[in-house]
Chains A and B, each alone.
Chain A
């Protein structure tokens, strides 16, 4: 294959008879198709890496070879990518969690040699049953593997992901003559060196980063109300569309809601967002990406789940509501703006909560040694366990168990492996690598420090970013707030808007979704509730939808609730807040006729006192009809559903007679929601009307 022949393919792909290879494109194709090399390409987004792998695929297919596998966190190829593949006569298919129902037909077509490019997500490649059923049957003929966003391979990368660790281990086993293409737009020297050391013989091709159109600005704004106000006043003044990044799912939803209330067409985007009419989160996310692409939204309010590689050349602003954990992550996100337009802005805001959130991320990045050993111990005594069985045997959260198993199973060799549906202990000795975890944590702290330095950087902001990415540029950008000597956008929030934002934050209650099912099987249900003997599906016994006033310690009422809990008394302010929430915003229908409190032996008066004052305020009778009859373990010590249920079994008794009508069931802090679920079920068993749970704060990690 010569350059001329390949260039003809490029002209076809781009439908442009004048098209010529950009710097490095032909060299990359040549390395893959003529020399069977392994290659890491570090090029800015929009450079045209998809041309490289589509043309290479075309050449391999013409040689009668098998398909190309593209491993990418993207949910789908971008529209322009699909179009250029089509022009080359290539059939591209996607397999990820969004289209499980298509897997069978796609697999059949791949096996029948009708697919040229298969796009799969990294988490698919880390899934043994996917590899076994889909990939292995076609793997003999795979011509090329492409690893998108290859910087995720590196420990040093800002965005190291366990699934990529599995990918590295696969790449390491590839023989010398099997070509691989890794691509990334953001990798500094250390990341490149790390990838090189992990993969051995791999060629590096590096291009220039450039964002000539981007005007950067930073703002330290401690309180959320000010930041919300600023967003609401600034976004309508910005041309075009953009992205607001938040650190947490809850913030994404809250900011989106606020912007909408202020007449801005915004939608929240995060890893678990759902919407009616969409079978799953991924399908809805694709729709959101599409809407932004078509300018049907002003702004997406997103966590970092907004896919890497999301390419909208005319995106005109990226604003961070909270600061990300590293400069590389920031560059990658802010770099989405202004790719194909003359002017775009990137504003980094940072508030008081950022520090705590990153601290939490760092702290929860690795599971504790005790948990790891507990799980290994349970597995060692068996010939394989399900996650549910591990919950019973360990009293660890399901998410903790999954995290431990993930961490352990990406080791190579690994102490655990999933065969069929069971997790099995291998004969591999395991010791947690504390030194490596300390190293990674220290790395994260250093990266966070770099972000804080950026916030106060007096010199050219763009050069600061470039330096951190080892792409130093002696010339200042001339566009950022430092170069200008004045703000790109006025940083002062409107006082009235800030006041309204403050109220908004205090009215940001959480919907309590009642549990409808006790356990996945009848046997599990029986073991969980030997005394109460609830049915597996609660049905009529289930609570209604409820409300939780705040998130524990949040910027709304969360801090007041925490202070009340510690001081042994919830203030009248909270009674009023709760009253407003119920009367003004929630308005449960049919309306509650009486009030009841969740009992406690440890703090017998705290909740009942609050509930009785609330009852007075709502002008409803308060009947303390539920009694705690067993001095059980603190519920917060129960880490998973099985143990949470077991601990509550037989703990409560209900007095007769039960008043008529719906009841408001009051608790202070909600975590798993099992206490409210169990008491509601008991009340219902005793003939009670609909049960509306309401609580002051949620500590659930899922919110």
Chain B
């Protein structure tokens, strides 16, 4: 792989190529790069234009206290560092996607704007970065039952062809990723450290080679564990997904922090698994806008997690009700059976929030009219819908159970 000139310039300005030392010049942070990129754009310059023997004249009108021209020139002068590092990373099977590349994930750009990382290092199937999916997160030190649940949740996602997005850490992250892969599913792992190590480990190797897994990281691929990076990494997990599921959130730490950030920024709907752990902050997340995971074992599909519930109906507290849905014995049957009527009713909470006619519903759901009429009648009988007359319309009952 040969990088484009623009990608080279972005890397020179923003990447570490070795372990940071005090006397080496500091690459631009995401925010700093955002500012500089904006200035380049305003001055009709591409990052690639900076790769000339003497870029100084181009920077004549650049003026920023934090980002001196000298710093930019020093950063751009790191061509040999870039080459040595890229040769190794590429040799190890890693690739690079920069914001200037067309295959940079749009979800990140849209949700994070100027704060999206200028460079992503990765290994495996790059296409998966565009697939969205379900983020599954939780503690490193989760209890066995939570790990089992996570594995089965991920397996179910796999069965429904939903990509699982997680952080590659031990505990819930790893259970989610391995659970999905074991069912032939697709997985995005957003790594906070040691991408190079992970990309050559027996655990992930086959899935990487089979195109089922992509490991990606905005950090120096040879970086060791650093809590700051682990925190910063969470936002990318949410922003690469379309919905998120918190299995277990401890009283403090990465999971809680990441989930709260997601709720505050309203990136994706957040689902929370009920727990009996008194230390857990799962309930706290629900008070902040998360939703309890819909525990109805008959009706649940992963697909349901991709729209925020409008009704409290699904958010009944199920503190005591331990989930049987993913009990090991019956997974295969469970995955095969889906109650479409229940899904229909859940959908009505949105579709029939205001009175609608049968024709409108038919057009929105693409159901056959006879099937639709049958279910509408049943929903009225079940007191899920109110039947309105003149003309005949249906409306979802907000307090229905």
Contacts and interface: CB of A to CB of B under 8 A. Distances in A.
Interface of A: 34-36, 65, 69, 128, 131-132, 135-137, 139-142, 145, 166, 169-178, 200, 380-384, 409, 411-414, 417, 419, 424-429
A320 to B, nearest CB: 37
16 contacts: A69-B80, A128-B88, A139-B17, A142-B81, A145-B80, A169-B91, A170-B87, A172-B87, A175-B9, A177-B79, A382-B202, A412-B91, A413-B92, A414-B93, A425-B200, A426-B93
Contacts of B87: 166, 169-170, 172-173, 412
A427 B81 contact: no
B205 A140 contact: no
A427 B91 contact: no
A175 B53 contact: no
B79 A178 contact: yes
Contact of B80 (A142, A172, A380, A381): A142
Contact of A429 (B19, B80, B201, B209): B209
Contact of B84 (A135, A141, A411, A425): A135
Contacts of A170: 83-84, 87
A173 B200 contact: no
Given A175-B12, A409-B91, A136 B84 contact: yes
Given A35-B53, A380-B205, A427-B199, A412 B90 contact: yes
Interface in B182-211: 196-197, 199-202, 204-205, 208-209
A676 to B, nearest CB: 41
Given A35-B53, A175-B9, A65 B79 contact: no
A174 B93 contact: no
The interface centre, meaning the residue of B53, B78, B123 with most chain A CB atoms within 10 A of its CB, is B53
Contacts of B5: 175-176
B25 interface: yes
Nearest to A171: B83
Interface residues of B, number: 46
Interface string B1-22: 0110100110010000111010
Interface in B13-62: 17-19, 21, 24-25, 51-53, 55
B161 interface: no
B80 A139 contact: yes
A30 to B, nearest CB: 11
Contact of A428 (B81, B83, B93, B202): B93
A173 B93 CA distance: 15
A139 B204 CA distance: 32
B243 to A, nearest CB: 28
Given A139-B18, A382-B202, A427 B86 contact: no
B345 interface: no
B204 A173 contact: no
A131 B25 contact: no
A166 B197 CA distance: 21
Contacts of B19: 136
B197 A419 contact: yes
B53 A34 contact: yes
B304 interface: no
B53 A137 contact: no
A380 B80 CA distance: 32
A593 B199 CA distance: 63
B344 to A, nearest CB: 43
B92 A425 contact: no
B81 A140 contact: yes
Contacts of B92: 413-414, 417, 426, 428
B208 A413 contact: no
B74 interface: yes
B302 interface: no
A83 B323 CA distance: 81
A142 to B, nearest CB: 4
B51 A139 contact: no
B52 A36 contact: yes
B85 interface: yes
Contact of B82 (A128, A166, A173): A173
A383 B201 CA distance: 5
B253 interface: no
